[in-house]
Amino acid sequence: MTKILNVVIMKNSMQKNKDIFNQVINQCLIFGIFISALGFLTDFDNTIKFAGNDLRTRVVGARLLINQFDPYFFKWNEDISDVYLDPGDSPYSPVSRVTVTPTVLIIHSIAAKLPYKLQRVLWFIIQWVLFLMTLLLFSKSTISNSKSKLIWIIGLFFISGSFFWRLHVERGQIYILYVFLITLSYWLLQKEFKHSVIFSGILIGLTVSLYPLVILMFIPMIVYKKWKLLLANIIGLQSGLSISIILTDIGLWRKYISSLYIHSKMYLGIIDYYGFYSKFDAEGMKNFFIWNFLPSFDASLQKVIKKLTGINLSLNFILTFSALFLVFIILFLYFSRHKNISMNKLFLIGITIVYVIEFLLPMERLSYNDVIWIIPLSLIISNCDLRKLLLRPSTVLLVIGLIFSTSFHLLPYSGLICHYSILFYTALTTLLVIRSRFYL
Amino acid sequence: MKINEFKIHKLTLNKILIFSIIIATLGFITDFKNTFKYGGMDLRNRVIGARLLIDGADPYYHKWDETMSERFLDPHDCPLAPVNRVTVPPTVLTLHSIIASLHYKIQRIIWFIFQWVLFLLSLVLFSKSTKLKYKSKLIWIIGLFFISGSYYWRLHVEKGQIYILYVFLITLSFWLSQQNFKTSSFLSGFFIGLTASLRPPVIFMSIPLFIYKKWKLLLGNIIGLMMGLSSSFILGNISVWKKYSSAMQIWGKIHLGIISRRHDGFSQISAEGLDNLTILADIPLHDSSLQYVFKTFLGISLSSNLLIIFLGFSILFFSIFMYNSRNKHVSIGNVFLIGITLVFLCEFFIPAARLSYNDIIWLIPLSLIIINYDLIKLLLNPVSVLLLLSIIFSTSFHLITCHWLISDYAMLLFTISIVLLFLRDTNIFQNNSMIYTDDIKNKPVIATIITIKEIINNMNDQNIECSNYEK
C-alpha cells in the first residue's frame, strides 16, 4: 500500500515538475524571440549604416574572378573602375584582402554584378535566413520537444543576442554558410532515407571546398572506418574543387595557397604593411570607413600568448605544434575507439576538432567565427543526457561562456573568457562523449 | 513541494556570489585603467566650479580664456554657450572645495577610490540592515554582479560622477533609521536633508515622512537641509544660488534645443600637464529623460512647464495613495522605498538630461525591496518580469537597439508598480507565509527559475531518466 502511495506521489510530483519545466522553457523561448527580434532590427540598422568590409572583399574578389583578374594579388589604382576597389585593402601589402577559396568566390560571382548596396542587403537577409534555418534543422533533429526548444533558446537568446553575431552580420561574414551546410548534412544523416549518408557526406565535402579546415571532420570518419561517408565526402570535395577548376583554372588555387602563406607572415609581423585606400569612395558609398565599434577579439592561441606573455611564436613553431596536436588527437581517437559509434557522435567529434584547430592556426580567429558554437552546442543538447551533463562541474564553463557572449563587454578579456570557456566546455564534453558517457 | 525563503537560501547563492566578486574585481580593474586613461569630464567641471567658488568667481557662467590659469580650464566646455558645464548646486561645489586645490590628477585618483568605497559601503550598510543571511547575500549579488558589472557604473566611474555619494548618504540614512539608539531617527532624517541640499530632487523623500507622521525624521530632515544650505554660504552667498537657478533654466532650454550649444570646445585641450582631458571611453551613454525620449522617438517637444505639471500630478497621485494608507502600519523601510521611488520618478521628469550613470540609484529601491518584502511573493507577481528585463538589459545586449530604454523604463515601472501595489494592500508582500508549487503555475519566468534547482534535485532523487521524463 505504501509502495503504491509512493508511486502515486512520485508520479504527481513528476507531472508538476514537468509542467514547471515546460513553462520555464516556453517563457525563456518567448524572451529569446524578443531578443532575437531586437537583434534583427539592430543588424538591419547596421547593414544600412555600415558598409560591411568583409563582404566587400569577397564581392570584389568575385568580380575580379569573373573578369579574369587575379583576386588574391590584385591591387587597385585610380585608372581602374571603383567596382574593383576594396577600400579596406592596403595599397602597400603584397596581397589583397581576399582569403576565401576560389569556390567561395564562384558562389559570390552569382550576384557579384549587382550594385554593392543591393548585395549588402541580400547578404544580410541570407545570413539571417541561414541562421534561422540552422536552428530549425537542429530543432527538427531531436524528437524531444523540450530539447528542440532549448536549441532555439540557445540560438535566439545567446547566439543571436551575442556580440559576435552582431559583428558577423555587420561585417557581412560568411561563416554562417559553413555552419548551415554542416547542419544540413547532419539533418540529412538523421533522415535515414536510402542515400542519406551519401548526400550528407557530399555536403561535408562541398563545405570543405569552401572552408578547407572542415577537412578535419574526415579524421573521426577514417578512425572509425566510416568508408561510405568518407567516400561521399571525397566526392563532394572533388565536385567543389572541379567546379572551381573548370570555371577558372588550377593556377587560381595555387595563388590562393601562396596568398594564404603571405597572409600568415603578415599576421605574424614578418611582412609589414600599412595604409588603406581610405580616401576613395566606392560605388557611391562613403561609409566604408565608418566602423561600427562592435567588440572583436582575436582569440587565436598565437595572439593570446603574445598578448599575455609578450612571446611571439614563429610560423614554423605554430605549424609544428598544430600538427603534433592533431597527431595526438588522432592517436587518442584511435586508442579510445569503440566498435559501434553513432553518426551523431562522429559529427560532434569532427566539428570539435575543427573548432579546436581554428584556435591553433597562424591566422586571425576573430569573434564572428564563434557562430560555429551552434553546431557543437546543438549536438550536445540533442544527443546527451542533459540531466547528467548539467550536474557536472564543467557546466560552469558553459554558463560563463554564454553569459560573457551577451554581457559585460566593458570588462577586460571578456571576449577571451567567452571564446575559451565555450571552447573548453565543448572539448571536455566531447572527451566525455568519446568515453561513452552522457550519450543517450 | 513546499517552497519558502529557507529553500531560496539553499539555492546556489554562494556560487553566484563568488562569480559576482569576480565580475566586480574585473570591473574594478577596468575602472582603475579608465581612471588613468581618460580625463573624467564630469569631475573636471565640478573641480573647476569649486576652484572658481573659492576664488570668488562665478562658477556657473565663467568662461575660460587664454589669459587665465589652466587650473580653470574645462576643455569640454563650449566657449560660445551662455553657461558652462557646472550643473551641481553650490553645496556640492562647497564640498568639492575641500580637495579642489590639489592637482587634478590626484583628485581624479582620490575620486576613483572614493566612488568605489562609497559603493561598497552602501552595499555593506544595506546588507547589514537585514537579519536574513540570504537577503544580505542577494543584496551583494545585485550590487556586485548587476550594478558593478553594468555599463552605467563603468560610465559613472570613468566620468567621475557624484551620484554614488547621494546613494551612499540615503543608504546611511536608512541604516541609521534601523538602529535603536536615541537620536537614530533624527540623524537618519538629517542625512536625507543633507542629501537634498546636494541633490534637490531628494526633497521629495520628505513627502512620505510627512504623510506617515515620521516627525523625528522630518525634523532631522529640515535641520539637515538647512545645515547643508548654510554650508554653501561659507564660500559663496545668496547670489550664487540665484545664478545656479538661472543657469539651470538655461540648461533646460539647451536640453529642449531652444538654445543651441555648439560643441566647438576650446583650442587648448590640455591642462595641468594632462593631455587626456578630452579623451572619452567608448561606453554607452544615453539620455532617458522623458523630454528626450518623447522628442527622439515621437517627435514631441515637451516644454519644461508641462513636465513640471505632469510631475506635480504624479506626486499628487502618489500622495493620495499614501494618504489613504496613512493609518495602516507602514514600516520605515517602506517609507524609504516610497520616498526614493518619488525621487526616481522625478529624475525622469526633470527638464535636463538623465544620463545612464543616474541608474546607480537602482541600488536603493532594489535593496529596500529585498529587505522589506517576501521575495517569493514578489517574484510570483507578474511585475517581476519588468525587474528581469531591466537587470538583463543593464548588463547584457548592449549592442541591441534601445536596450537602455527598455532597461531604464522597466526598472522605473517595476519600482512604481511595487510601491503602488504595496500602497493598495500593505500586506501584499509581507514576510511570512509558505507558498506551494501549485501557486507557481502560470506565473512569471522568475518564479519558475527559482524552482529549477528544486526540479533538478527532485529529478536526481527519483532517478528519472530524461527520456522517460519527456514521455
Distance CA A57, CA B337 (A): 57
**pLDDT tier for residue A8 given thresholds of 50, 70 and 90:** low
What is the pLDDT averaged over residues B183-201?
95
Contacts of A9 in chain B (CB under 8 A): none
**Closest in A39, A387, A407 to B395, CB measured:** A407
Helix (H, G, I), strand (E, B) or coil at B435: strand
**Closest in B397, B462, B469 to A406, CB measured:** B397
What is the pLDDT averaged over residues B92-116?
95
Pair B91, B70: CB distance under 8 Å: no
DSSP bridge pairs for A282: A285
pLDDT of residue B76: 85
Pair A314, A72: CB distance under 8 Å: no
Nearest CA in chain B to A389: B466
Per the CB < 8 Å rule, is A293 touching B282?
Answer: yes
What is the pLDDT averaged over residues A190-203?
88
**pLDDT tier for residue B386 given thresholds of 50, 70 and 90:** very high
B444 touches chain A (CB under 8 A): yes
pLDDT at A156 over 90: yes
Structural domains of chain B, count = 1
> For A97-118, how does the pLDDT look when each residue is reduced to its tens digit (9 = 90+)?
999 999 999 999 999 999 999 9
Pair A427, A376: CB distance under 8 Å: no
**Locus of grid cell 543526457:** A385
CA distances from A285 to A49, A83, A96, A98, B128 (A): 11, 11, 20, 20, 59
DSSP state of B232: T
Cell numbers standing for residue A409: 563587454
Distance from CA of B396 to the nearest CA of A (A): 4
pLDDT of residue B425: 84
> For B140-186, how does the pLDDT look when each residue is reduced to its tens digit (9 = 90+)?
999 999 999 999 999 999 999 999 999 999 999 999 999 989 899 99
What is the pLDDT averaged over residues B46-75?
90
pLDDT at A380 over 80: yes
DSSP B233-298: TTT--HHHHHHHHHHHHHHHHHHHTSS-------S---BTTBS-TT--------B--HHHHIIIII
Pair B445, A30: CB distance under 8 Å: no
Q: Average the pLDDT over each of A333-347, A388-402, A418-432, B446-460 and give the range with the smallest value.
A: B446-460
Torsion of CA B33, B38, B43, B45, to 10 degrees: 170
Residue B446 lies in a domain: no
Contacts of B466 in chain A (CB under 8 A): 144, 385-387, 440
DSSP bridge pairs for A439: A384
Q: pTM of the entire structure?
A: 0.85
What is the dihedral sign for C-alpha B235, B237, B239, B240? positive
What is the pLDDT averaged over residues B313-337?
89
Q: What percent of chain B has pLDDT over 90?
A: 57
Residue B467 lies in a domain: no
DSSP bridge pairs for B3: B435
What is the pLDDT averaged over residues B95-105?
93
What is the pLDDT averaged over residues B123-148?
93
B173 touches chain A (CB under 8 A): no
Range of B377's domain? 3-424
Residue B230 lies in a domain: yes
Distance CA B326, CA B423 (A): 9
Distance CA B60, CA B89 (A): 10
Distance CA A110, CA B55 (A): 72
Average pLDDT for chain B: 86
Query: Which range, A391-395, B78-82, B333-337, is most confident?
Result: B333-337
Per the CB < 8 Å rule, is A24 touching B448?
Answer: yes
Which among A142, A152, A231 is positioned nearest to A190, based on CA atoms? A142
Torsion of CA A206, A207, A209, A213, to 10 degrees: -150
Per the CB < 8 Å rule, is A293 touching B27?
Answer: no
**pLDDT tier for residue A15 given thresholds of 50, 70 and 90:** low
Per the CB < 8 Å rule, is B397 touching A21?
Answer: no
**Locus of grid cell 534637490:** B200
Q: What is the per-residue burial (b if ≥16 Cβ within 10 Å, else e) of A35-52?
A: bbebbbebbbebbeebbb
**Locus of grid cell 551641481:** B88
Helix (H, G, I), strand (E, B) or coil at A285: strand
Nearest CA in chain B to A390: B456
Which among A401, A378, A402, A384 is positioned nearest to A134, based on CA atoms? A378
> For A60-110, how does the pLDDT look when each residue is reduced to its tens digit (9 = 90+)?
999 999 998 999 999 988 888 888 988 888 888 889 999 999 999 999 999
Which among A178, A203, A137, A164 is positioned nearest to A379, based on CA atoms? A137
**Closest in B1, B29, B395 to A13, CB measured:** B1
Residues contacting residue B308 through CB under 8 Å, at least 6 positions apart: B349, B351
What is the pLDDT averaged over residues A45-60?
92
pLDDT of residue B460: 44
Cell numbers standing for residue B237: 552667498
Average pLDDT for chain A: 88
A346 touches chain B (CB under 8 A): no
Distance CA B138, CA B318 (A): 29
Distance from CA of A67 to the nearest CA of B (A): 39
B133 touches chain A (CB under 8 A): no
Indicate the length of chain B as a whole number. 471
**pLDDT tier for residue A291 given thresholds of 50, 70 and 90:** low
> For B281-319, how does the pLDDT look when each residue is reduced to its tens digit (9 = 90+)?
888 889 999 999 998 899 988 888 899 999 999 999 999
Nearest CA in chain A to B442: A23
Residue B435 lies in a domain: no
pLDDT at A6 over 80: no
Pair B261, B60: CB distance under 8 Å: no
Per the CB < 8 Å rule, is B448 touching A23?
Answer: yes
pLDDT of residue B465: 40
A393 touches chain B (CB under 8 A): no
Strand pairing class (B435-436; B2-3): antiparallel
A16 touches chain B (CB under 8 A): yes
Residues contacting residue B289 through CB under 8 Å, at least 6 positions apart: B255, B347, B348, B349, B350, B351, B352, B353, B354
Burial class (CB in 10 A: 0-12, 13-18, 19+), B417: middle
Residue B445 lies in a domain: no
A21 touches chain B (CB under 8 A): yes
Q: Average the pLDDT over each of A139-148, A430-439, B258-267 and give the range with the smallest value.
A: B258-267
pLDDT of residue A386: 80
pLDDT of residue B273: 82
A27 touches chain B (CB under 8 A): yes
Backbone torsions φ then ψ of A407, nearest 5 degrees: -130, 170
Residue B431 lies in a domain: no
pLDDT of residue A12: 66
**Closest in A293, A390, A407 to B396, CB measured:** A407
**pLDDT tier for residue B263 given thresholds of 50, 70 and 90:** low
Distance CA B137, CA A301 (A): 38
Distance CA A374, CA A382 (A): 12
Distance CA B414, CA B391 (A): 11
pLDDT at A1 over 70: no
Contacts of B151 in chain A (CB under 8 A): 410
pLDDT of residue B440: 47
**Closest in A20, A163, A386 to B437, CB measured:** A20
Q: What percent of chain A has pLDDT over 70?
A: 92
**Closest in A16, A38, A144 to B400, CB measured:** A38
Cell numbers standing for residue A73: 594579388
Indicate the length of chain A as a whole number. 440
**CA A307 centroid distance within chain:** 24
pLDDT at A430 over 80: yes
Contacts of A38 in chain B (CB under 8 A): 397, 400-403
Helix (H, G, I), strand (E, B) or coil at A313: coil
Residue B471 lies in a domain: no
DSSP state of A413: T
> For A332-362, how does the pLDDT look when each residue is reduced to its tens digit (9 = 90+)?
998 888 777 888 888 999 999 999 999 998 8
Distance CA B409, CA B414 (A): 8
Q: Average the pLDDT over each of A41-45, A407-411, B39-43, B117-121 and give the range with the smallest value.
A: A407-411
pLDDT at B278 over 50: yes
**pLDDT tier for residue B395 given thresholds of 50, 70 and 90:** confident
DSSP bridge pairs for B435: B3
Residue B466 lies in a domain: no
B445 touches chain A (CB under 8 A): yes
Contacts of B467 in chain A (CB under 8 A): 144, 440
**Closest in B1, B445, B470 to A144, CB measured:** B470
Q: Return the number of other C-beta atoms located less than 10 Å from residue B323's C-beta.
A: 12
Q: What percent of chain B has pLDDT over 70?
A: 87
Per the CB < 8 Å rule, is B282 touching A17?
Answer: no
**Closest in A385, A407, A412 to B30, CB measured:** A412
pLDDT of residue B461: 43
Pair B59, B49: CB distance under 8 Å: yes
Helix (H, G, I), strand (E, B) or coil at B3: strand
Distance from CA of B188 to the nearest CA of A (A): 36
**pLDDT tier for residue B441 given thresholds of 50, 70 and 90:** very low
Distance CA B448, CA A23 (A): 8
Helix (H, G, I), strand (E, B) or coil at A282: strand
Distance CA B448, CA B409 (A): 24
Q: Average the pLDDT over each of A255-264, A285-294, A315-324, B149-158 and give the range with the smallest value.
A: A285-294
pLDDT of residue B462: 41
Per the CB < 8 Å rule, is A23 touching B444?
Answer: no
Identify which has the larger pLDDT, B379 or B24.
B24
pLDDT at A389 over 70: yes
